[in-house]
């Protein structure tokens, strides 16, 4: 499998983590290389609050999850193996499929959505 084929596989699996939230959020981008979700909450700068995205880059596939940044308690729950994949405060990078870590990201996304909902940023 070539790198671009592998990245497409990684992208599709990570995108599948976010798809269940699309109906309650706003899909900003939905292409073969980027899947981007905003909340419907409008911030004081009149821009919608970003929720999560998956993007294929040159060296890896990135999974961005804003609730990790917005709710610091969530970052404390990130397992060490997943934390190794972090770049910055809310981005996780992958070059291959890693089902156990994807399962952890799925739980983290679910908890992040719940916290965002409690804070009034996402609908129930």
Domain contains 66: yes
Give the tens place of pLDDT for each residue, 47-85.
999 999 999 999 999 999 999 999 989 989 899 999 999
What count of residues does the chain have?
Answer: 124
Domain contains 24: yes
Structure tokens at 85: 């994949």
Distance CA 61, CA 68 (A): 18
The domain of 39 spans 3-118
The pLDDT score that the predictor gives to residue 3 is 79
Among candidates 41, 18, 28, which has minimal Cα distance to 117?
Answer: 41
Give the tens place of pLDDT for each residue, 30-51.
999 999 999 999 999 999 999 9
Q: What is the CATH number of the domain that holds 19?
A: 3.90.1150
Domain contains 124: no
The 3-state DSSP class for residue 43 equals coil
* Window from 8-12, 28-32, 72-76, 88-92 with minimum mean pLDDT: 72-76
Domain contains 123: no
Question: How many distinct structural domains can be found in the chain?
Answer: 1
Distance CA 95, CA 114 (A): 28
Domain contains 70: yes
The pLDDT score that the predictor gives to residue 77 is 86
Q: What is the pTM of this model?
A: 0.94
Q: Is 115:71 a contact under the CB 8 Å cutoff? A: yes
Among candidates 73, 75, 71, which has minimal Cα distance to 104?
Answer: 75
Domain contains 22: yes
Domain contains 43: yes
């Amino acid at each position: 499998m070539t790198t671009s084929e592998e990245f497409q596989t990684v992208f599709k699996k990570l995108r599948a983590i976010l798809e269940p939230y699309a109906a309650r959020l706003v899909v900003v981008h939905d292409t073969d290389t980027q899947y981007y979700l905003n909340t419907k909450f409008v911030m004081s700068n009149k821009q919608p609050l970003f929720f999560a995205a998956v993007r294929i880059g040159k060296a890896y596939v990135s999974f961005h999850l804003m609730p990790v940044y917005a709710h610091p308690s969530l970052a404390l729950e990130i397992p060490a193996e997943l934390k190794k994949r972090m770049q910055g405060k809310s981005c996780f990078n992958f070059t291959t499929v890693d089902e156990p870590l994807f399962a952890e990201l799925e739980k983290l996304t679910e908890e992040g959505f719940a916290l965002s909902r409690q804070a009034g940023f996402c609908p129930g």
